[in-house]
Amino acid sequence: MTDSSLELSPTVIAELTAHGVPEKLHPLFPHGLGGLIPAMGIRLSELSAERAVATMPVAPNTQPAGLLHGGASVVLAETLGSLASGVHGGVERMAVGVDVNATHLRPATAGYVTAVCTAVKLGRTVCVHTIEITDEAGRGVCSARITNMLIPRTAR
């Protein structure tokens, strides 16, 4: 049995919908999004293997100086790259991150940041995406790259 044969619970459907996962992609996330995406306030506006777009609030995802935490930027980047890779993998394969790197370009102190994830390689076993995160003025906050392996899904 694979995860794709699981019936989605109303709670999972509500979570996926609330965070912007298109209904046609719900079967790819039978266990929901995990706890981190909702906790960070990440909201998707676009999701495909080739491109994903999401926003995330700066507050409360800040470090002690009141700046967007660099780790929060990496969470946003890894989230988009992994979700896009998971879409590419379909119901038979799931994405697992094997490498992520990020360069922080400028601080964000308020409002929202927007991340745009673009596929570099969509292979049978490896996916690579770049993610550009900008502030509300369109200025670069972070540039990241993630590599995901696609592995067979197993029943939990």
Q: pLDDT of 118-130, one tens digit each?
A: 999 999 999 999 9
* Confidence label for 149 from pLDDT (cuts 50, 70 and 90): very high
For residues 73 and 95, what is the distance between their CA atoms, to the nearest angstrom? 20
Residue showing tokens 């939990």 = 156
Cα 42 from chain centroid (whole Å): 8
The residues assigned a catalytic role are 78
For the segment 99-125, the average pLDDT, to the nearest whole number, is 98
Q: CA angle, corner 81, sides to 76 and 83, nearest 5?
A: 95
Mean pLDDT over the full length of the chain: 93
Give the side-chain half-sphere CA count within 13 A for 38: 10
User: Cα dihedral sign for 147, 44, 118, 50?
Assistant: positive
For residues 154 and 156, what is the distance between their CA atoms, to the nearest angstrom? 6
What's the pTM? 0.92
* pLDDT for residue 156 is more than 90: no
